[in-house]
Amino acid sequence: MSVIETKDLRKQYGSVEALKGVTLQVEPGQIYGLLGHNGAGKSTMVKILLGIVKKTDGDAYLLGSEVGTTDIRKKVGYLPEDHQFPGYHTGVSLLHFYGELYGMSRPDRIKRMDEALDIVGLKKRAKSKIKTYSKGMKQRLGIAQAFFHDPEVIFLDEPTDGVDPAGRREIRELLQTLKGEGRTIFVNTHLLAEVEMMADRVAFIHQGELVRQGTVAEITRRANRFEIGLEKGTPFPVQEVRDAGFKVEMAEGKAEVELADGQSIDPVLEMLWANGLKLRHLVEQKLTLEDVFMKLVEGSNPGGKKGVRVARPVAARRID
């Protein structure tokens, strides 16, 4: 059984079509990344699954139940984007409050409390009022409350928002741990580099439509570019390979061979052997998720406003 399943899911906010028929499935035990630009419809997707907003059309199931069922949410954790915790709570009292809403008994809550706060690194400040927390601390608390009640599925909407680089790494590791415990994790983000490091499967959503999905390996493999280096001092037979119908470029003493559709790198390698050349370096070049995404977006929007898109945070935030 899929943990999450949607069929032709649509959502209309007044005249804005936030989702235009999204069909996806998330299998148990995965980290699933939903990627897209600002306003693509990522949060809308998650909010529908959690019953926060109502779908306009289509089907959506969470753990086998129609979305909007109150009880099923007991098994679900959620970190909303731009969340604001009630300032009058402390970290501890908030976890107690939410834990109670999730039906946890008091001994259970007390048992989990230290561990959860420790995992997100909030132990020291756990008894201070939330209004005294920094943005990153609030985000950590947000993550803690999302897994505190031992949920089967965890939805994280921009989980690393506002967290420093070290914290981001910690979060990535935490997600791996949670996944290791058999939970399914659904992450919304526009930080492609980040999701590339942690997700098993990703889906690209663009202007309300799912444009691509698959495992990270599948999606990034398709570069069809090989970097070939020979033993020092032996020149690469550029012309010969070109004559065989391959595109070759030399860069820093290495050859970059680009394959056309249907071509394989094997004939090139055979050619090198036949010439008695000694191979020292062969790498299949991968695309980053961002490369793939930019291509997809351009493809879905021919002659589109490329310049505008490059300026968006997708590119701007990659550095960290």
Phi-psi bin for 158: left (phi > 0), alpha (psi -120 to 50), beta?
A: left
Count of Cβ atoms closer than 10 Å to residue 90 Cβ: 19
* Lookup result for tokens 């399914």: 184
Alpha carbons 35 and 40: distance in angstroms, whole number: 9
Yes or no: say if 205 and 192 are a contact pair by the CB < 8 Å rule: no
Q: Is 60 in the site for another protein (CB under 8 A)?
A: no
- Between 73 and 212, CB nearer to another protein: 73
Nearer to another protein, 46 or 268 (CB): 46
CA 54 to chain centre: 24
Near another protein in 124-183, by CB under 8 A:
145
User: By CB under 8 A, is residue 80 in contact with another protein?
Assistant: yes
Per-residue binding letters, 78-107, with ligand ATP (x by CB under 6 A): ---x--------------------------
* C-alpha span between 47 and 157 (Å, rounded): 10
The option from Mg ion, another protein, ligand ATP, none interacting with 102 (CB < 5 to 8 A, set by class) reads another protein
Task: Show the site string, 10-49: x = touches another protein by CB under 8 A, - = not.
Answer: ---x---------------------------------x--
For position 98 contacting another protein by CB under 8 A, the verdict is yes
Count of chain residues binding ligand ATP (CB under 6 A): 13
Q: Residue 307 and residue 122: Cα distance in Å, rounded?
A: 41
Is 31 an interacting residue with respect to ligand ATP (CB under 6 A)? no
18 binds ligand ATP (CB under 6 A): yes
Nearest to 241 by CA among 226, 252, 231: 226
Q: Which CB sits closer to ligand ATP, 42 or 140?
A: 42
> Would you count residue 207 as binding Mg ion (CB under 5 A)?
no
Nearer to another protein, 78 or 293 (CB): 78
Element (H, E) at 126: none
Neighbours of 201 (CB within 10 A): 20
Q: Does 81 bind Mg ion (CB under 5 A)?
A: yes
> Which option in Mg ion, ligand ATP, another protein, none does residue 38 bind, with CB closer than 5 to 8 A by kind?
ligand ATP
Backbone angles phi, psi at 298, to 5 degrees: -65, -40
**Residues 250, 236 contacting (CB under 8 angstroms):** yes
99 alpha-carbon distance from chain centroid: 27
Cα–Cα distance for residue pair 34/90, rounded to 1 Å: 31
- Collapsing DSSP to helix, strand or coil, 186 comes out as strand
Ordered alpha helix ranges (H), 181-318: 192-198, 216-221, 238-243, 266-274, 289-300, 306-310, 313-316
Q: Which stretch binds another protein (CB under 8 A): 87-95, 179-187, 204-212, 270-278?
A: 87-95
What is the C-alpha separation between 265 and 280, in angstroms, rounded? 15
Q: Binding pattern to Mg ion, positions 4-43, x when CB under 5 A?
A: ---------------------------------------x
Shortest distance in whole angstroms from residue 42 CB to Mg ion:
5
Binding site for Mg ion (CB under 5 A): 43, 81
Binding site for ligand ATP (CB under 6 A): 13, 16, 18, 36, 38-44, 81, 190
Binding site for another protein (CB under 8 A): 13, 47, 50-54, 70-74, 76, 78, 80, 82-89, 93, 97-98, 100-103, 145
